[in-house]
Structures are given as structure tokens and as C-alpha cells.
Amino acid sequence: MWTLLTLAGGVLGGGVYSQAQTVHQLAGSAESMRAGQRLQELIPEGPTVFAVVRGIQVYDPAIVQTVSDVAADLRQWPAVKEVGDPYTGAANSGIGDDNASILVRVELRTGSSDADVAAVAAELHKIKATNVLVGGQPLAEKAFTDQAVADAALGEGIALVALAILLIALLRWGAVVPLAAAAAAVTTTLLVLTGLARVTAVSDFTVNIVTLLGLGLAVDYALVLLWRYREELSLGRDRVEALATAVRTAGRAVLISGGIVAAAMAGLATFSQPLLAAMALGGLVVVVVSTAVALTLSPALIAVLGRRITPKAPAVTGGVLGRLTGVAQRNAGTVALAAVAGLLLLAAPFASVALGNSDVRALPASAESRQAYEAYFRLFQREHPDPVTVVLDGDAAGERMRDYLDHLNRLPGVAQLQLRFGTPAGATVVDLRPATAEGATALVRTVRGVPAPHPALVGGPAAELVDYQDSVRERLPYAFLILLAAAGALLFALTRSVVIPVKAVLLNLLTLAASLGVLAAVFGGRLDLTTPVLLFVFIFGLSTDYEVFLLARITEEHRAGAATTEAVRRGVARIGPVVTWAATGLIVVFLGFVAGRLVSVREIGVGMAVAIFLDVTVVRGLLLPASMELLGRWNWWPGGRPGRPAGRVPRPSPAGDGSASIDVTKITEP
């Protein structure tokens, strides 16, 4: 069944790339979105494409002729509403500040197709000049979609090759299991999303997220299951019994981990924004598919491979995690204090980070759409920020309106006030030019606080940023409560402890804070506003993987009769190496996407790679054992004292002779 699904996904799943669309980050109910809609009703504008011609003598007859010919040709096109150029309109309106560049602007009619936009761009490229840059929002959106697809292909390719080398070196034939699981999870998810794209919006950015999560989760889950199977073989179980035990123990941990990551995706959906909802949908699909793959395909592959998978004796030291655990247990107080202080220090840069909306500057510097925008912004907009637009349902005449406009003009941070020409009777549109880009959001809040003589809506890019910030701030507590409730309930089911889930949430928050701080430092103190929200959900969900894997084994040892210190030592010794390998594989996956050229994708890749590294080394390697050492028996409150559960079957001895190896020494808490 999974082979058929994987093949179908490989053949048909690629259709999601052509069906994916740019999804706005704000819901239509936001004030800035309503302002934009009202403005479109009053002064309808179609898609706009422009050309910046640089490095010329503006009135060179050859330049005048070629620009005029192209403009005259475009004016004859049915899809074109208006063409503006410096030679047939206002003489200086399209000349840049350097007096060596001109702007040609083409507005298409509303409802124009992508093909119309592409045809206009191709026609503008016919201007005979050395340096012609063609851009505009529809072209930038197309470039973003194309780059997202290219980044996904590049990142996936790098990650798969690196993962294959890593897993083959570690597992030999066993590498087939995690690699096949990853392929099945990603392709099947793309197949599902292709179907969903017919009935709902699937964001082009979702494809990147699906690839990241699918590769990471599928490999993690398959590795944990395979590791436990090989360990059970080394203890003398036959292959059927070893596989059943692996699914019953490691499979239960996978199921709980998948439930927590799925809850993280549900928490992302509570932000009620189209872009985040689209990402949550893709994330939820890939989590469900990856968990199903781990619990069905991975055991089937293990069974098919048979004797090609060799036993693996339980680790004695636990590798890197085992050594870190030993240090943490011997110096619990000092280690806990130093680790918390270090993570908070790493988190410090995030306190002063500037969060903004992604625009065309998220594209690679070599992208023509970005170069065209930057040239326009510098030469024709004079690097002034976009205006804050106020749309009022009332005429500009009257004493109250004059007082209102005068008040707006005298507000701190306003560089210029202009009334929009061409507005129909009964409405007024006011453009307020902020003095600085940094003060634009503050100006939005100030303007919204000024009583208006008529119903008013405040819009523009800065207003969209304010609305998004407010929405995230309002919804974040709900998302956190969903994560807390789901993680708490599932970890309680695993450990029968109230203390451990609370501690797990606090440790995850430390990982998140430190990762965001490092990310802010790497990207120069400026991040896309969506990045912290996504990382909050992904880090919380994925870092819980390692918490669950470790706690499942520690709890198993504790219920077998070991005191907390010994249970932690044994549990980490047995599961630590696979957690280290799984984390290494996941870091490789995320670093593969750092090679991408979209800034937002690189931010996610760097943030997740840093988070996984800090989580496995500092948080799980040091803080988890140190905190459990300090809390002692209180870790298990109110779960009771350790003891062997009724009906527990003793394990065969490591020698494999089938004799029972029973610890008759009663172990109690110190």
C-alpha cells in the first residue's frame, strides 16, 4: 500500500507546485484589509508592471524613440488600462533622482490574467537600452513561488544525499527503513495537498514546511523504532517478538510524540490568519502521515529486510548524551544554573529584534523583481516609506474635516499629507507619508486613535504589520494553552507525572528563546514576523520528540524498579545514541534549506538547526538530567514509588540463552 502511495505521490504530488498560491498573511476582517478593499472599490486598480531604465541620457533621441514605441504599442492592448512614461505624460514625472534613469509604468485592467502580466513584462523588455529592469507585485509573487519550489528541490536534494550517507554509515541495510519512510511521508503528503489544493488554498511556502517536517519526523520515528528492534534482538528475542516489543514500546513513544506535534499544528491554526492556517494544514497532514508511516511501513520494512538487520547491544555509556548526563548528575545544581544562564544569554538579542513583513526584498539579490523594486525605491520613491492611507466615507469639505486633516498633518512622524485625486464624491482618501520607516507603525496606531468626522479605515503596509502583530499577540496565549494541554496530557499518559510535563514545557521555552536570540544575531537583528510564530510551534513540537524518547525509556527503567538517578542513567545510556543520531540527521535536513535563496526559508532552516543542536546538547543533555537529579522522587509526583508493574515479563539475558535476568535487589529513592 505504501509503495503504491509513494509512487502515486512521486508522479502526481508534484501537481501541488503548480496549484499552490500566494496566501495573504491577514484575514479579510483586519482593518488594513478592509481599508484596501474599500480603496479598491473607490479607485479600482489592476495589476501594475513597471520598467526602470538606468544608465542613460534621458533625452537621447534613441531612448525617447524606443520608449515611446513600446508605450504606444502597449496602449493598444485590450488588457492594458494605462501607460505612464516621461515622454508622453508629465515631462519629469518618470525621471529618476540621478537624472540618468526613467520609469515606465503599466496598469492592467482588473481581472487580467497571469499571461497578460507576463506579456506586458516581455513587451517592456523590448525597450532598447543597456539596463532595463522590469518588476511589480504580480511578477514578484511569481518569482517568490518559483524560488520556493527551487529552494524545496535544492534543500530536499542536499538533505536526502547527506542523510543517505549518514544513515548508511550507521545502519548499513537498516538505512532503507528511515530513507524509505522519509520518501513515503513526503510524497504522500504532497499527494494529499494536491487534492486539498482543489478545495482550499495551499500556500507555496507550505511546500517547504512539508518537506522540512516530513523528512525530519519520518527519519526520527523510524530510527527510534529500528534502534529498539535491534536492541531487543541483542537480548535474545526472536525477530517477531523483537518487532512486537519495539512497536509496543518505541511505537508508543512515536504515537505520543506525533500527537504533541499535531497539537502544535493545531495551535498554529488558532492564529486564524490565512497564511498560518495554510501552513498548519500542511503541517498537520505531514505529521499524521509521518506517524502512520512509522507505525505501519517501518515495521513492515523491518520484517521484509529480515536478517539483513543485525542486533545492536544496548549502549553502556550512551555516547555524547550519556557523558553529558554523568556530568549533570555529579554537579546538578551548578550545571542547571549555568545552562539556564547560558540559554538566557543567547536569548538576549531577540529582545531588540525588528520584526517586519516580507516583501520583494525576501527574494535573492540577483532576482530581477527585487533589483527593479530597489531601483524604483531609491530613484523614484526617494527611499521614503510607503504611505499610511486613511479611507473616509465622507467628503473632504466641512469644518470638522478640515480640523481633522489639520490634526493629522501636525501629528509627530508625519512628513507629508496628500489627498488622493480621482476619489468619487462622498469619500476621501488621505495619504500620510511617515518621516521614517521605523516610525510608520507608531503613526498607524496614533492615526487610529484620532477621532474622525466620518467612518474611517487605516490601511497600507505599516497598517498590515500592526494588524498582524496585534493578531499574533492576541492569539498567542490560546496557541500556548493548546500546546500546554496536549503536551501535558500526553506526557502524563506516558509518565503518570504532573511535574515532568510542566518541566518539559519550561525546557522547550528555553530552547525556543535561545534559538530566536541566535537567529536574531545571525540575521542582523531583523526577522520576518512570521518566523518567530512558526519557530514557536515547530521547536515546541519537534524538541518534544527527544523529550518523549528519553522520558519513555527513563520511565520504563523507573517502573522496572530503578531509583531516579539510576533510571536516568540507564535510560539515557540505552536511548541516548539514537537520539544523538536522529538529531544529527534532523540538523542535516534543516541545514539543507539554508542553501535556499529565500530569506524566510533560510531563517526557518537556521532557527531549527540551532534549536535542535541546543535542545539535544544543553537542554536534554544537561538540563534534563540535572533537573531530575535535583527533584529526585518529586519528578514522579503523584505517580507513586517505583516498582515492577504487575504482569511484567522479565527480559531475556543479554547472552540470548532465554534465561530470565531478574534484578532481585530492591532499589529505593535516596
Domain annotation for the chain: domains and CATH numbers: 43-136 (3.30.70.100), 150-354+477-636 (no CATH), 387-459 (3.30.70.920)
| Beta-bridge partner residues of 390 | 430, 458
Task: Give me the phi and psi of 215, to 5 degrees please.
Answer: -60, -45
What grid cell was written down for 83?
501607460
pLDDT at 602: 86
> What number of residues does the chain have?
670
426 CB-contact burial (10 Å; exposed 0-12 / middle 13-18 / buried 19+):
exposed
pLDDT digits (tens, 9 = 90+) for 27-49: 888 999 999 999 999 988 899 99
Give rounded-to-5 percent helix, strand, coil for the chain: 65, 10, 25
Which positions ≥6 away from 392 have C-beta within 8 Å?
Answer: 401, 427, 428, 429, 430, 452, 453, 454, 455, 456
pLDDT attached to residue 166? 85
Note whether 211 and 308 are within 8 A (CB): no
Collapsing DSSP to helix, strand or coil, 270 comes out as coil
Tens of pLDDT, residues 324-339: 999 999 999 999 999 9
User: 242-251: which pairs have CB atoms within 8 A and are 24 or more residues apart?
Assistant: 243/299, 243/302, 243/303, 246/299, 246/302, 247/295, 247/299, 249/552, 249/556, 250/224, 250/225, 250/552, 251/225, 251/294, 251/295, 251/299
**pLDDT for position 484:** 82
- At 50 the pLDDT is 94
Sheet of 48-54, strands arranged across: 80-84, 101-108, 48-54, 131-135
Task: Note the pLDDT of residue 650.
Answer: 41
How far is Cα 353 from Cα 340, in angstroms, rounded to an integer?
21
Close Cβ partners of 556 (under 8 Å, ≥ 6 residues apart) = 249, 571
Buried b (16+ CB within 10 A) or exposed e, 27-62: beebbbbbbbebbeebeeebbbbbbbbbebebeeee
The pLDDT, as a whole number, for residue 665 is 35
Q: What are phi and psi of 433, to 5 degrees?
A: -90, 115
Q: What is the pLDDT of residue 315?
A: 62
Quote the CA–CA distance of 54 and 187 in Å, as a whole number: 45
What was the pLDDT predicted at 314?
Answer: 65
pTM for this model (two decimals): 0.80
Sites in the chain below the pLDDT cut of 50: 90-92, 641-670
